[in-house]
A and B are shown apart, each in its own frame.
Chain A
Amino acid sequence: MPRNVNLRSTKRHVLLEVMAGDRPVCIVKYPRAQEESFLRNEAETLDWLHHAGLCTGPVSTPRLIGQGVAFNRIYLIQDFAEGEVPARLEENEAPAIALVDWLADVMSKAREEGTLTGTVQRMLDRVLPKYPAVEAVKRPTEAVAGRYRPVLMHGDLSYQNLLVRDGAVSLIDWEYARADGIPMADVLDFLLYDLYRDTKDYGAAVRGLFSGNRPQHWALLKRYCRAGGISDDDIRPLFQLFVLSKLDLLVRLSAPRAEQKAKELLEALSESPHESLQAQRDPA
């Protein structure tokens, strides 16, 4: 019989916290049905992050301790990540800056060579038949894809997958990670989710970020772009690429309320960064 084990139940996993004395030492992550490929993906990504020296420091990721198969399903054993879901960015800027710098660091250590052209083409092939409105962003996204290398992308960087304690950040739940990710996507995810917490409206979150009403969020985006060598002209097409990748995920995963989400995303496509406005407001 398991001794000193707590259980956490989430939509996608059952997590067993194994204790040694009064402290949790590791997590056994067991997937619900149909989640196995994601868990394999998480294992590979955590392994890569560890070998790239990216899983320690002010921003860390759980270390993969082991994996196994029980009842024909893979499970992972990871370090226990301590911390709380962070408060809003306004109250928690230091960890947010550390996170953005870390993401820029990850961008510089890309796992794959070449450009994003192939990835974007595959996305367009999947998304266009279902959402023809995407045709409008086909050309700019293809053009920007040729200028950037794929980067490692977390793929689900909402505040719920961040744990903060004493200024240190842990990034958990890497099952949607991809090696052929889009630059800036994780930062956008992080900033937009933070804004979404206030409004519960994705379109409003996008407008908030790009209209200059949320200078703190905008400054973080610019900080990432500066560190990652992304020019101001590329912010809009990279944002469109980010929206395209979200639509691609909806098409591939048949998520609940996918149509509503897709509608919000397609509306968001019409939003664009107002550079002239930002130039006045952003002293950098």
Chain B
Amino acid sequence: MTYRYSKDHIGTQHYDEFFRNLDAHGWKTAMDRLMTLQDIIKPQKISMFLSDQRRNDFIFLLPLGEESVVLDYGSGWGNTTFTLAPYCKQVVAMEADHGRLRFSAAHFAHRGVYNVTPVRSGNALSLPFRDNSFDAVIMNGVLEWTPRSINGPPEEVHKQVLTEVRRVLKSNGTLQISIENRFGYAYLLGKRDHHCGGLRWAPFLPRPLANLYSWLWLRQPYRTWFYSYGRLREVISGAGFGDTQIYSYFHNHVRYSHMYLLDDEANVSRKAHEILANQRVTWKDRLAYRLGCRLRQFRWIAQDFMVVTKKN
């Protein structure tokens, strides 16, 4: 199955050119030339992927220590790995895309980060690590993509992937997942879903209908599933995790100024009040926070989730 990639995809030829420039002219020139690929990816986005530390502030909600060994699952260009490295003993940056992994390895070397091990993983259902290897596993915007490379019903795939992650976690180890909400208010109000070619409405349609919609428009099945608040809890507990806390972000898991516990509606109401009073918000945010808090059911329409859970 060939999937359409989002605009942000940088092809092998661009990575090859980057590495030629890196060898010939050094990091700065290679990066400057990569930044000129504006038809593929905006320079602001490259710097965000590479060096925006604020998107990784969620790590402060994780029980990490100087002796922690952490797996950054789906490390991409290594942004989260960079943030984690000073706070941990060892970080394993695992990425399936060879170009991204080479790029991040070069970036680690350029920045002098030596407690990171880049690993290429071919099979999410058979991770190349021993049982009980990690104190924490970070899956930041990764889980929803896994059914695109693994056959089977997406929910089953998610459970299998999580079960495999559970295997490599130490006893009482922590799993972090960032994932969108199927009924996120931005999707309900017409935001395009970048996971599936920018289709509107697809996340919250009944799955068979979303699949049909995706086949008609994109000639590919709809497999990048997200879940509602309740279903996400079930999927996670079904894979053998417990003591689950779910947070949400304002605005979303890429750019946020607030993270708050969704499990407590009183807390959500207080934070919503603070956000609406002090932050620049759109009419969509205002509508969603006001309505969700009035009904005391904001958790069902929060845009993104961050899950922190423990291996049972």
Q: A residues near B, CB below 8 A? A: 1-11, 14, 16, 19, 22, 30, 32, 71, 84-85
Q: Chain B: how many interface residues by the 8 Å CB criterion?
A: 31
Point out the residues of chain B lying under 8 angstroms from A7, CB to CB: 57-58, 60-61, 247, 258-260
Instruction: State the Cβ distance, B182 to closest chain A Cβ, in Å.
Output: 24
Known: A9-B257, A84-B277. A1 touches B63 (CB 8 A): yes
Instruction: Name B46-66 residues within 8 Å CB distance of A.
Output: 53-54, 57-58, 60-63, 66
Of A9, A14, A32, chain B has the most CB atoms within 10 Å of the CB of A9
Contact, CB under 8 Å: A9 / B54:
yes
Instruction: State the Cβ distance, B161 to closest chain A Cβ, in Å.
Output: 22
Q: CB-nearest residue of chain B relative to A23?
A: B270
Instruction: State the Cβ distance, B287 to closest chain A Cβ, in Å.
Output: 20
Q: How far is the CA of A2 from the CA of B87 in the complex (A)?
A: 16
Instruction: State the Cβ distance, B188 to closest chain A Cβ, in Å.
Output: 24
Q: How far is the CA of A191 from the CA of B260 in the complex (A)?
A: 33
Q: B residues near A, CB below 8 A? A: 53-54, 57-58, 60-63, 66, 86-87, 174, 243, 245, 247, 256-261, 264, 266-267, 270-271, 274, 277-278, 308, 310
Contact, CB under 8 Å: A30 / B60:
yes
Of B60, B264, B271, B277, chain A has the most CB atoms within 10 Å of the CB of B60
Q: How far is the CA of A30 from the CA of B59 in the complex (A)?
A: 12
Contact, CB under 8 Å: A1 / B57:
no
Q: CB-nearest residue of chain B relative to A2?
A: B61
Instruction: State the Cβ distance, A16 to closest chain B Cβ, in Å.
Output: 6
Contact, CB under 8 Å: A22 / B264:
yes
Q: CB-nearest residue of chain A relative to B310?
A: A1
Given contacts A1-B308, A2-B63, A84-B278, 9 further A-B contacts (CB under 8 A): A1-B245, A4-B264, A6-B260, A7-B57, A7-B60, A7-B247, A9-B57, A16-B60, A22-B266
Point out the residues of chain A lying under 8 angstroms from B61, CB to CB: 2, 5, 7, 16
Q: How far is the CA of A135 from the CA of B21 in the complex (A)?
A: 48
Contact, CB under 8 Å: B267 / A22:
yes
Point out the residues of chain B lying under 8 angstroms from A11, CB to CB: 54
Instruction: State the Cβ distance, B168 to closest chain A Cβ, in Å.
Output: 19
Q: How far is the CA of A19 from the CA of B271 in the complex (A)?
A: 12
Instruction: State the Cβ distance, B249 to closest chain A Cβ, in Å.
Output: 9
Point out the residues of chain B lying under 8 angstroms from A4, CB to CB: 261, 264, 267
Contact, CB under 8 Å: B60 / A8:
no
Contact, CB under 8 Å: A6 / B271:
yes
Instruction: State the Cβ distance, B196 to closest chain A Cβ, in Å.
Output: 29
Contact, CB under 8 Å: B258 / A8:
yes
Q: CB-nearest residue of chain B relative to A9?
A: B57
Instruction: Report 26 cross-chain contacts, Cβ distance below 8 Å, ordered by A residue.
Output: A1-B174, A1-B243, A1-B245, A2-B63, A3-B245, A4-B267, A7-B57, A7-B58, A7-B61, A7-B258, A7-B260, A8-B259, A9-B257, A9-B259, A10-B257, A11-B54, A16-B60, A16-B61, A19-B267, A22-B264, A30-B60, A71-B66, A71-B86, A71-B87, A84-B274, A85-B277
Q: CB-nearest residue of chain B relative to A30?
A: B60
Q: How far is the CA of A275 from the CA of B270 in the complex (A)?
A: 47
Instruction: State the Cβ distance, A3 to closest chain B Cβ, in Å.
Output: 8
Q: How far is the CA of A268 from the CA of B308 in the complex (A)?
A: 51
Point out the residues of chain B lying under 8 angstroms from A10, CB to CB: 257
Q: How far is the CA of A11 from the CA of B255 in the complex (A)?
A: 12
Of B66, B247, B270, chain A has the most CB atoms within 10 Å of the CB of B270
Q: How far is the CA of A227 from the CA of B153 in the complex (A)?
A: 74
Point out the residues of chain B lying under 8 angstroms from A5, CB to CB: 61, 261
Contact, CB under 8 Å: A9 / B278:
no
Q: How far is the CA of A19 from the CA of B270 in the complex (A)?
A: 12
Q: CB-nearest residue of chain A relative to B172?
A: A1
> Which of A3, A14, A22, A84 interacts with B60 by CB under 8 Å?
A14
Q: CB-nearest residue of chain B relative to A16?
A: B60
Q: How far is the CA of A71 from the CA of B86 in the complex (A)?
A: 8
Point out the residues of chain A lying under 8 angstroms from B247, CB to CB: 7
Contact, CB under 8 Å: B267 / A8:
no
Point out the residues of chain A lying under 8 angstroms from B277, CB to CB: 84-85
> Which of A9, A16, A85 interacts with B256 by CB under 8 Å?
A9
Contact, CB under 8 Å: B267 / A14:
no
Q: How far is the CA of A9 from the CA of B56 in the complex (A)?
A: 10
Q: CB-nearest residue of chain A relative to B274?
A: A84
Point out the residues of chain B lying under 8 angstroms from A19, CB to CB: 267
Contact, CB under 8 Å: A9 / B86:
no
